Amino acid sequence: MKVLMAGQGAFGQKHLDAMKKIDGIEVATLVGGSPDSTKEVAEKYGIPHWTTDLAEGLAQPGVEAALLATPTQMHASQAIQCLDAGKHVMVEIPMADNIEDARALAAKQKETGLVAMSGQTRHFNPSHQYVHKKIQAGELSIQQMDVQTYFFRRTNMNALGKPRSWTDHLLWHHACHTIDLFMYQTGEDISECYAVQGPKHPDLGIAMDMGILLKTPTGKICTLSLSFNNDGPLGTFFRYIGDTGTYIARYDDLVNGKEEAIDVSKVDVSMNGIELQDREFFAAIKEGREPNASVAATLPAMEVLQRLQEQLDY
C-alpha cells in the first residue's frame, strides 16, 4: 500500500518510524509545511517525493491512504480533502478544533464509505489495552478514572524544541484523549460534565490550567486535571479505580495499586502505541471494515468537548 504522510514535525516522524516496522507499507510522498524541513525529513526517511501542497501529494501515482499529523486547525479540512480525493484517511487528534468541522468530517466519511480514523492512540497503548481486555472479560468495572495531563509549555514549542506554527489546547487536544478513553473504557456516554479553567496566557490566548469532571449514566466518574504550567514530571498519568483492582498507567508502563509492575509486553505485537494505531488503520482498509477509533465512533467525545466549551464560554 502506498501512503501519503502529511506533517514533517515531531509526531509525523513518529508515524514514519512506526510505518518502517509494518510490512507492505510504502510512504510514497511527504507533505510538509515548509520546503526546507520537508525536504530534510523526506531525505532522512528515503521518501521519493515531497511537497508542500496536499493536492499534489494526493495525486501521486498509487497513493491509497493518507496520515495527517498537521497543525490542528487543518485537520478537518485536510481529512475531508483526502476523502474527496478517494483516499482513506487517519487524522491525528483532535479531528477538529470545533464541533461543526468534526460533524462535517463524520458526514463526509459516511458519504464516501472510506475508512476515516481518529488518532486516539490510548485505544492501542498496551497498558490501556490490558485494562480494556479486563473490562471486556467482565473481570473489572471502572468506578473512577483519575487522570493528570501535565506539561511545561509557557512558550509555543513542539516536542523537538522547535517553534510551533499552531497553538496547542488543553480542552480540544489533551482533554480529547481522556474523554474519548473514558467513554471507550466504560462503554457509556457522558450524562454530566463540568469544566473550570484558570487565566489565559497573555500571548498564547489559551487557558494554562483546567479541571474537568465527567459522569456516566451508571455513575462512573472521571476527574481530569490539565496544566501547561507544570515543571515536571511531564506527561499523562492514568489511575483506573475498579471494583476488583486499581491500575496505574504511565505511558507504556502499568502497575497495580500497590505499585507492582504488570507485564504488558505480550498484549499486542508491539509496545509502540503509534505503530499499533497505524497497523489498525491499514488492517481496516485491507479488510474493508470500520476501524477501532473511527471518526464516527469518536465523534461523541467531540460532542462532549463542545458541551464543556460552552460552559467555559458562559
CATH of the domain at 153: 3.30.360.10
Looking at the fold, whether 97 and 131 belong to one and the same domain comes out as: no
Say yes or no to pLDDT of 156 above 70. Answer: no
**Does any domain span residue 305?**
no
**Does any domain span residue 306?**
no
Looking at the fold, whether 217 and 263 belong to one and the same domain comes out as: yes
Query: What digits encode the pLDDT tens for the residues 108-149?
Result: 999 999 999 999 999 999 999 999 999 999 999 999 999 999
More confident residue, 166 or 299: 299
CA–CA separation, 314 and 42 (whole Å): 45
Query: Among residues of the chain, what percentage have pLDDT more than 90?
Result: 89
**Does any domain span residue 156?**
yes
Looking at the fold, whether 116 and 129 belong to one and the same domain comes out as: no
**Does any domain span residue 307?**
no
**CA neighbor of 51 nearest in space, from 3, 2, 16, 5:** 5
Looking at the fold, whether 21 and 80 belong to one and the same domain comes out as: yes
Query: What digits encode the pLDDT tens for the residues 185-222?
Result: 999 999 999 999 999 988 888 899 999 999 999 999 99
CA–CA separation, 257 and 179 (whole Å): 22
Counting the structural domains of the chain, the total is 2
Looking at the fold, whether 18 and 77 belong to one and the same domain comes out as: yes
Cell 486516539 belongs to 120
Instruction: Read off the pTM.
Output: 0.94
Query: Among residues of the chain, what percentage have pLDDT more than 70?
Result: 96
Say yes or no to pLDDT of 152 above 80. Answer: yes
Q: 159: pLDDT confidence band, cut at 50, 70 and 90?
A: low
Looking at the fold, whether 240 and 282 belong to one and the same domain comes out as: no
CATH number for the domain that contains residue 82: 3.40.50.720
Say yes or no to pLDDT of 173 above 70. Answer: yes
Say yes or no to pLDDT of 164 above 80. Answer: no
Looking at the fold, whether 150 and 209 belong to one and the same domain comes out as: yes
CA–CA separation, 28 and 34 (whole Å): 18
**CA neighbor of 34 nearest in space, from 46, 19, 50:** 50
Looking at the fold, whether 40 and 134 belong to one and the same domain comes out as: no
**Does any domain span residue 302?**
no
**CA neighbor of 97 nearest in space, from 207, 162, 175:** 175
DSSP bridge partners of 229:
152
**Does any domain span residue 217?**
yes
Looking at the fold, whether 62 and 113 belong to one and the same domain comes out as: yes
Query: What digits encode the pLDDT tens for the residues 256-294?
Result: 999 999 999 999 999 999 999 999 999 999 999 999 999
Looking at the fold, whether 76 and 137 belong to one and the same domain comes out as: no
Query: Buried b / exposed e across 151-174, counting CB within 10 Å, b at 16+?
Result: bebeeeeeeeeeebeebbbbbbbb
Cβ atoms of 162 and 156 closer than 8 Å: no
Looking at the fold, whether 232 and 280 belong to one and the same domain comes out as: no
Task: Supply the range of the domain harboring residue 28.
Answer: 2-120+274-291
Looking at the fold, whether 201 and 282 belong to one and the same domain comes out as: no
